[in-house]
Amino acid sequence: MLDMSTVDSYRPLLITLAYQMLGSLSEAEDIVHDALVDYVMIADHGSIKHEKAYLVRMVTNRSLNLKQSARKRRELYVGQWLPEPAIADGGVGGASAAFGSTTGKTENPANYIERQENITYVMLVMLERLTAVERAVFLLRETLDFDYGEVADIVQKSEANCRKIFSRAKEKLQGSAGEGGGAEAIDPMRRNEEEAWAFAKAFMQAAETGNLSALVDMLAHDAVCVADGGSKVRTAINPIEGSERIAAFFIGNARKGTMGDSFLPVDVSGQPGFIVNQNGQPTMVMVFGWDAEKRISRIFIIQNPDKLVGVTYRFAALS
């Protein structure tokens, strides 16, 4: 007899994998719900030797199909595309939600995201440099520690080919690190989140007061700021490069009153960040990355309302 509690215990792992594959919480939740429902409907579960691997393969295959079909939609996306921020609110839905409702949706799927030290929001952005298959192989090896035989079975490629794909993916990500965008280059503050949030708060306050020199000092010379408005919010279409240009961008927006009136420090996909509020309503999520000298080297601003659905009024503003 199928043990429903055991099956549902895989839900956090599966949603985490789908989210890391797609960069979308809503799509990840839909895929996992459908996979679990289909798994429950299988007539002979006794023939399945490794339940976890079987479920991972179902979710990986669905994620690969969706990732590849979304390529054309991404080409039509206005401006920069950033992953949806995963911010848990502490209120996990019922354990049987995937099987006890018609939609299978919980109030906030981010509650199911498992925090993993090697896959932060910054790394999610970097993963967009990989093909769908490279991304799947990398995640299966790096985050789930599957051996190459298991990975080959999941992605339906030879073991030797999977080794080459993983090596190629690592090279691409290390190339990103060489450009200042890698996890090793911008994560020295991640293990001290209170310090990181205090630093980021000082940055925001410097922008509000128009302190240009303070902003420039806190930014790496080759810092990059990327904003995602999805054509629904007016924001920078192209990345803003250089400490002085970024400082001017923040001060200009602060003067126009478009940087919010309060903010709340939160964990964004394993990375220190802020929910920025305007009149008590979230209008953007900001994520910061640091270089080896503990200067801000990356700023990601998620403003597309479709990607802020999970960020609600439950997050009280900081004064």
Domains for the chain: give ranges and CATH numbers.
Answer: 1-112 (no CATH), 116-185 (1.10.10), 187-308 (3.10.450.50)
- Where does the pLDDT of residue 97 fall: very low under 50, low under 70, confident under 90, or very high at 90 and above? very low
258-312: per-residue pLDDT in tens?
888 888 888 888 778 888 888 878 899 999 988 888 899 999 999 999 898 877 5
Give the SS3 label for residue 290: strand
Six-digit token string for 12: 């956090």
Each residue's pLDDT tens digit, 117-129:
678 898 899 999 9
Tokens of 220: 């790496």
Average pLDDT over residues 215-235: 92
pLDDT at 182 over 50: no
Res. 314: pLDDT tops 70: no
**pLDDT number for residue 33:** 92
Residue with tokens 């199909």: 65
> pLDDT tier at 194 (50, 70, 90 boundaries)?
confident
Q: Which of 11-25, 130-144, 278-292 has the lowest mean pLDDT?
A: 278-292
CA distances from 150 to 106, 142, 146, 156, 163 (A): 30, 13, 6, 10, 12
Mean pLDDT of 196-216: 91
Is 283 within 8 Å of 303 (Cβ atoms)?
Answer: yes
Q: Average model confidence (pLDDT) for the chain?
A: 83
Give the pLDDT confidence score for residue 241 in this predicted structure.
Answer: 96
Residue 176's pLDDT is 61
Residue in 291, 73, 72 with CA at minimum distance from that of residue 177: 291
Looking at per-residue confidence, does 38 or 115 come out higher?
38
- Confidence class of residue 132 from pLDDT cuts 50, 70 and 90? very high
| Reported pTM | 0.85
Nearest C-alpha neighbor of 146 from the set 252, 52, 261: 52
From CA 285, how far away is CA 270, in angstroms rounded?
A: 14
Q: What would the two tokens of residue 132 be?
A: 């769908």
Of the candidates 227, 209, 221, the residue with the CA atom closest to the CA atom of residue 245: 221
Smallest CA-to-CA distance from 88 within 317, 319, 312, 316 is with 312
- State yes or no: pLDDT of 153 exceeds 70: yes
What does the buried/exposed string (b/e) look like for 139-175 if buried means 16 or more CB atoms within 10 Å of the residue's CB? bbbbbbebebebbbbbbebeeeebeebbeebeebbee
Residue type, 39: Y
Q: Report the DSSP beta bridge partners of residue 219.
A: 296
